[in-house]
A and B are shown apart, each in its own frame.
Chain A
Amino acid sequence: MGKIIARIKKQNAGLLLGLLFTLYSIYYFIKSFSYPYVNRFGVGPGFFPRWTALLSIIAGVAYIFSSIFKDKDRFIMENIFPSKKELINVVTVVLAILGYILILDFTGFGLATIMLLFVIFIRSYSWWKSILYAIIVAAVVFAIFKIGFSVQIPVNSFGF
């Protein structure tokens, strides 16, 4: 596992992104053929996507070449992405949002937000401070948006 991670760290991120983007563009290009190029209005819904997808493919291929041959476009993974601890912070936030998406409709804004904030605060504060801060931040934001600006916020049957 360690060897695999070490190998990934040495990869050219620009090249990987270029490959990914080119594949994405090729898919877009192929998919554009499922929309008619011409129709009774003249040019059809497939016309514009086909040409723009072609432009995307050119951009992707050019990016692959530049990330291989031009120093300023060569980004090695370990140089641009943060170390383990920092990356865990980033992943925690992403996963916390994902969890938030899954539970919000069941729990309502208040509970879901407190849980989300707790997960992030606990990385820097003690558990009781994390709970306290999570409740305070959720309540203040709720008051500003829901009461102050009448913004629609999903609530549970208890109204929060």
Chain B
Amino acid sequence: MWGLLNGLTIAITPTNLFYCLIGCLVGQLVGVLPGIGPVQATALLIPLSYGLEPTTAIIMLCGIYYGAMYGGTITSVLINTPGETASVITCLDGYPLAQQGRAGVALKVAAIGSFVGGVISTLALALLGPSVADFALKFGPSEQFALMVFGMSMVIGLMGKSFIRGLVSLSFGLSLALVGMDPISGAIRYSFGINDLVGGIEMVPLCMGLFGLSELLVLVEDLNVTHKASALNSSTLKKEELRPTTMAIIRGSFLGFFVGLIPGTGSAIPALISYSMEKSLSKHPDQFGKGAPEGVAGPETANNSYVGGAMIPLFTLGIPCSPTIAILMGAFMMHGMIPGPTLFITNPDVIWGTIASMFVGNVILLILNMPLAAAWAKLADIPNKMLCPAVLVISLIGAYSDSNSMFGVGVMLVAGVIGYVCKKLDIPLAPIILVFVLTDKMEQNLLQSIKIHSGVLGILTSPIALGLLVGAAAVIAGSLIMEIKNKKSSLLEGDE
């Protein structure tokens, strides 16, 4: 707890507080724009952090992440347009509430639920993080390798509608990650004589292309699209709605946090589970889909609480659970820090400052959202013909300033076109980036364990590694069976 208190002193310094506020504001601003969710917002706005101190930069990016999530909720409720996959579930009851003139209720329970979920999961992160990091320090190369294989199996097992399409995406991510210097011998691979590829493909333009530009290309298809937000009117819960909504928030908080601990899940999964759980526990399940407040409260809470849980694998194991977390991981590396078990020792100020800033960020967003939801919703009225060019310029600056060369813009363009085609063919983009981030470390760990054990099979002598590899095999087998039976859920797809 001392770490958290120390972190609070860092998070509430005027500079950090200011940039946390900026992050929340900008994140919410971008998140409210239809079609742009947390992953696009974080990827597009990474350049804003270039000139900042590492702690301040990460605090601001986390603010952008939360802000974009809150923003996505507003568009889901008021214009039935989710900014991210997790908010698809919010639309189910949020939009019917808005049509009944109760948009204020939906936004209020979503804001309170997100706040409670965010605070509970941040507290759990502060409590559990250091212990998990201590445990992770015992992991050798074999265990690390097995953990990454397990993470990757979860990514293709849980994300997307089809296992095969997930595998294609994963393989593509692997091939991109192999460009550049081999982590052990330093040999240059797949650079095709291009100097800019010697250090490998830069992550920021790749993310901006895959998630930002590809979405933009989808949006520009119809430049004349405009959205009309519903009016807020009533924002008071009925007496009989109070208890189920409160219970949904409490259940969602814990559910989201624990799902966040599992690599490869994404925030759509806890939101989906929460919705199903609330529906099955409800005395009036027939009201779900027609405007049940607990149908908004549970998923929104779970989706925000997920963030705190997902930070644990990142901070303690260096494993990102979702594309947005992968982008945050990239930001850590850009500022000279390697996420993993030693981060609590080498950069405690950054870690605890970031964790504490999550409390602060949630408070800021609650203040920003409760009275100002209607004002935020007005932003969604911006037509695509104005929105797309502006966002495009921001992404071009981001891709350029990552390496101060036009090569980054070229990478973004190519990645954007690939992302656009993938979206059309329903190929999930998340595995590409998650695998891209992990491959370097995975190869390094694999080669080291082969050397230590004098062969590949030696990895299996570690019980932890063996357990994780068996787990990975089970996930893959399960996904394959579901694929054959055509039972993969369509709600588990998406970027986030």
Q: Residues of B contacting A42 with CB < 8 Å?
A: 447, 450-451
A116 to B392, CA, bound (A): 10
A13 to B417, CA, bound (A): 15
Q: Residues of A contacting B420 with CB < 8 Å?
A: 90
Q: Residues of A contacting B162 with CB < 8 Å?
A: 66, 72-73
Q: Is the C-beta of A153 less than 8 angstroms from some C-beta in chain B?
A: yes
Within 8 A of A (CB), among B40-94: 47-48, 50-52
Task: Quote the shortest CB–CB distance from B407 to chain A (angstroms).
Answer: 9
Question: CB within 8 A of B389: which of A47, A87, A121?
Answer: A121
Q: Residues of B contacting A49 with CB < 8 Å?
A: 178, 189-190
A121 to B221, CA, bound (A): 14
Task: Quote the shortest CB–CB distance from A5 to chain B (angstroms).
Answer: 17
A100-B409, A104-B406 known; A113 and B50 CB under 8 Å? no
Contact with A along B277-306 (1 / 0, CB 8 A): 000000000000000000000000000000
Contact with A along B401-423 (1 / 0, CB 8 A): 10010100110010011001100
> Do the beta carbons of B50 and A138 come within 8 Å of each other?
no
Question: CB within 8 A of B171: which of A44, A45, A59, A138?
Answer: A59
Q: Is the C-beta of A123 less than 8 angstroms from some C-beta in chain B?
A: yes
Task: Quote the shortest CB–CB distance from A69 to chain B (angstroms).
Answer: 11
Q: Is the C-beta of A151 less than 8 angstroms from some C-beta in chain B?
A: yes
> Do the beta carbons of A56 and B171 come within 8 Å of each other?
yes
Q: Is the C-beta of B400 less than 8 angstroms from some C-beta in chain A?
A: yes
Contact with B along A74-113 (1 / 0, CB 8 A): 0100001110001101101110011011001100010001
Which among B167, B168, B404, B420 has the greatest number of chain A C-beta atoms within 10 A?
Answer: B168
Q: Is the C-beta of B220 less than 8 angstroms from some C-beta in chain A?
A: yes
Task: Quote the shortest CB–CB distance from B76 to chain A (angstroms).
Answer: 24
Interface size on A, residues (CB 8 A): 70
Which residue of chain A has its CB nearest to the CB of B190?
A31
Q: Is the C-beta of B396 less than 8 angstroms from some C-beta in chain A?
A: yes
A17-B421, A120-B389 known; A73 and B413 CB under 8 Å? no
> Do the beta carbons of A73 and B172 come within 8 Å of each other?
no
Q: Is the C-beta of A160 less than 8 angstroms from some C-beta in chain B?
A: no
> Do the beta carbons of B48 and A81 come within 8 Å of each other?
no
Q: Residues of B contacting A25 with CB < 8 Å?
A: 171, 175
Q: Is the C-beta of B170 less than 8 angstroms from some C-beta in chain A?
A: yes
Q: Residues of A contacting B404 with CB < 8 Å?
A: 152, 154
Within 8 A of A (CB), among B384-404: 385-386, 388-390, 392-394, 396-397, 400-401, 404
Contact with A along B155-199 (1 / 0, CB 8 A): 000000110110110111011001000101101011000000000
> Do the beta carbons of B175 and A53 come within 8 Å of each other?
yes
Interface size on B, residues (CB 8 A): 61
Within 8 A of A (CB), among B194-218: 216-217
Q: Is the C-beta of B457 less than 8 angstroms from some C-beta in chain A?
A: no
Q: Is the C-beta of A149 less than 8 angstroms from some C-beta in chain B?
A: yes
Tell me if A's interface is mostly helix, strand, loop or mixed. Answer: helix
Which residue of chain B has its CB nearest to the CB of A119?
B389
> Do the beta carbons of B189 and A125 come within 8 Å of each other?
no
> Do the beta carbons of B425 and A14 come within 8 Å of each other?
yes
> Do the beta carbons of B47 and A124 come within 8 Å of each other?
no
Task: Quote the shortest CB–CB distance from A115 to chain B (angstroms).
Answer: 12
> Do the beta carbons of A98 and B187 come within 8 Å of each other?
no
Question: Can you name 14 extra interface pairs (CB under 8 A) apart from A31-B190, A75-B424, A89-B221?
Answer: A21-B171, A25-B171, A28-B190, A41-B184, A45-B184, A62-B164, A63-B167, A93-B392, A100-B409, A104-B409, A138-B393, A141-B390, A145-B47, A150-B51
Some 24 contacts from A to B, beta carbons below 8 A apart, are A14-B425, A17-B421, A18-B168, A21-B168, A28-B175, A41-B185, A41-B447, A45-B185, A52-B174, A53-B175, A58-B167, A72-B161, A72-B486, A90-B220, A93-B217, A93-B388, A94-B217, A113-B393, A121-B389, A123-B223, A125-B385, A141-B393, A141-B397, A152-B401
Q: Which 10 A-B pairs have the closest CB atoms?
A: A150-B51, A56-B171, A45-B182, A124-B385, A45-B187, A86-B221, A59-B167, A42-B451, A59-B171, A80-B424
Q: Which residues of A contact B (CB under 8 A)?
A: 13-14, 17-18, 21, 24-25, 28, 31, 35-36, 39, 41-45, 47-49, 52-53, 55-56, 58-60, 62-63, 66, 72-73, 75, 80-82, 86-87, 89-90, 92-94, 97-98, 100-101, 104-105, 109, 113, 116-117, 120-121, 123-125, 133-134, 137-138, 141, 145, 149-154
